[in-house]
Amino acid sequence: MSPLVEVRDLKKHFPITRGVLARVSGQVHAVDGVSFHIGRGETLGLVGESGCGKSTVGRTVLKLLPPTSGRIFVDGADITDLDAARMFPYREKMQMIYQDPYASLNPRMTAGDIVGEPLIIHRSTAREERKERVARLFERVGLRPELMSSYPHEFSGGQRQRISIARALALDPELIIGDEPVSALDVSIQAQIINLLMDLQDEYRLSYLFVAHDLAVVEHISHRVAVMYLGRIVELTDKTSLFEMPLHPYTEALLSAVPVPKARAKRRKRTILTGDVPSPIKPPPGCHFHTRCRYAMPRCRQEAPALREVQPGHWAACHLHDGGVRFPLGHRS
C-alpha cells in the first residue's frame, strides 16, 4: 500500500536581509534535505533539540510555508507547486494542532464557532447541521456540548487543546500534524491528551506527524521515530529499535538524558554533549554533528553522511556504519 504522505529531500531556507534595500546576505538552513513517509493509520514521531527544524518540517508539509526545494506527495499526488486555489481540496485532508492552546484559538469567537469554522469555509454546511456536528465533536473529545457558547478564556489549557483537536477533526482529515501539542500542558493532562489522540487514531484511522522534544511522549504514541539535528534527519526507525539500539551518536546522547528511576540511573552510562548547537546560518561542513560527536573522524568533517539503511528498517546518517556496524553505539568496544 502506498504511503499517505511522502516527503523527498525537503529543504526550507529563510533569507537573511540587511539594509534599506533588503539585500539577501545569507540563508537560515532550517530544513536541509529531509525525506520520510507516513503510512495510513501510522504515527511518525519527529524529535530533536529546540531549533533543529521540527516545526518547520510540519508547517512546510502542510504548505503553510513554501518549500525551498524537494517534493511533497499526498495520496500519490505531488502538491509541492500547487497554488492556494489548487491546494484548497487538500486542506480538508491535512490539519494541524498547534503547541500553544492559549494562542491558537480566537479569543473573540465562541468555542462552538471555532470548531465549526472549517465547516463554513470548506463545506458551507447549514447552521443546524453544523451545530449538531460540532456538538458531536465536543462529546468525542471529552467536552460537554453546553460549553459550545463559552469563550476560550473560560477553559483550562487541557480543555483548550481539546477544542483544537475537535477543530482539527471537523473535516474528517486523513493527516494531523501535531506541533508539540502537549508540551504546554501539565504532565497529568498530557497523558489524557495523548490517550485521546491514540483513541481517535484507532477510530478514524488517522495518520499523525507528531513533533515533540519529549522522548517519553514520543515513545508512547509513535510507531516510528525520526531524529533531527540541525535541519537533517540523522536516524529513522521503529520506536522499539530506536530506544533499545540507537545507531547514531546524537540519538545515543538524547536517550541517555531521559530521566529514569534512581536504581536504573546508577547503572546507565551518561553521554554528555559538549559545546553548543552550530548556527543554522552557517552549518559546519560534512556531518553537522561532528563538532559535538565523541566518535568524529576526519571524514566526518568533510563528507556529509547519507541517510542509509544500516539494518532492515533502521536508517542512520553516520560514517561509523559504512563498514556494516550492527550493534548499538553504547556497546562499542
Residue 309 φ then ψ, to 5°: -80, 100
Q: How far is C-alpha 331 from the geometric centre of its chain's CA atoms?
A: 29
Taking only the tens place, the pLDDT of each residue in 274-308 is 777 889 999 999 999 999 998 899 999 999 999 99
Evaluate whether residue 177 is within a structural domain. yes
pLDDT score at 322: 79
Evaluate whether residue 150 is within a structural domain. no
Evaluate whether residue 12 is within a structural domain. yes
Helix 157-169 to helix 111-123 angle (10° resolution) is: 20
Query: What total number of domains does the chain contain?
Result: 1
pLDDT score at 189: 92
**Residue type for 166, please?**
A
Taking only the tens place, the pLDDT of each residue in 92-113 is 999 999 998 889 999 999 999 9
% of the chain beyond a pLDDT of 90: 77
The pLDDT mean for the chain works out to: 90
Taking only the tens place, the pLDDT of each residue in 29-76 is 999 999 999 999 999 999 998 889 999 999 999 999 999 999 999 999
pLDDT band at 196 (very low <50, low <70, confident <90, very high): very high
For 124, other C-beta atoms within 10 Å of its C-beta total 8
Element (H, E) at 159: helix 157-169
Q: What is the CATH number of the domain that holds 289?
A: 3.40.50.300
> In the numeric block, which cell numbers belong to residue 215?
522522548
Closest CA to 193 of 220, 223, 226: 220
Dihedral sign from CA coordinates of 69, 72, 76, 81: negative
Evaluate whether residue 148 is within a structural domain. no
Evaluate whether residue 141 is within a structural domain. no
Evaluate whether residue 324 is within a structural domain. yes
Closest CA to 277 of 31, 15, 51: 51
- The answer to whether 293 and 316 have CB atoms below 8 angstroms apart is no
For 162, other C-beta atoms within 10 Å of its C-beta total 26
Please tell me the distance from the alpha carbon of residue 169 to that of residue 270, in angstroms, as a whole number: 41
Evaluate whether residue 263 is within a structural domain. yes
For 219, other C-beta atoms within 10 Å of its C-beta total 17
108 CB-side CA count, 13 A = 0
Residue 217 φ then ψ, to 5°: -65, -45
pLDDT score at 259: 66
- The answer to whether 43 and 210 have CB atoms below 8 angstroms apart is yes
Closest CA to 7 of 52, 41, 51, 56: 56
For 33, other C-beta atoms within 10 Å of its C-beta total 17
Q: Which residue has the higher pLDDT, 275 or 152?
A: 152
pLDDT score at 17: 86
Which residue segment(s) compose the domain that 21 sits in? 5-93+173-331
Evaluate whether residue 256 is within a structural domain. yes
Is the predicted pLDDT of residue 266 greater than 60, yes or no? no
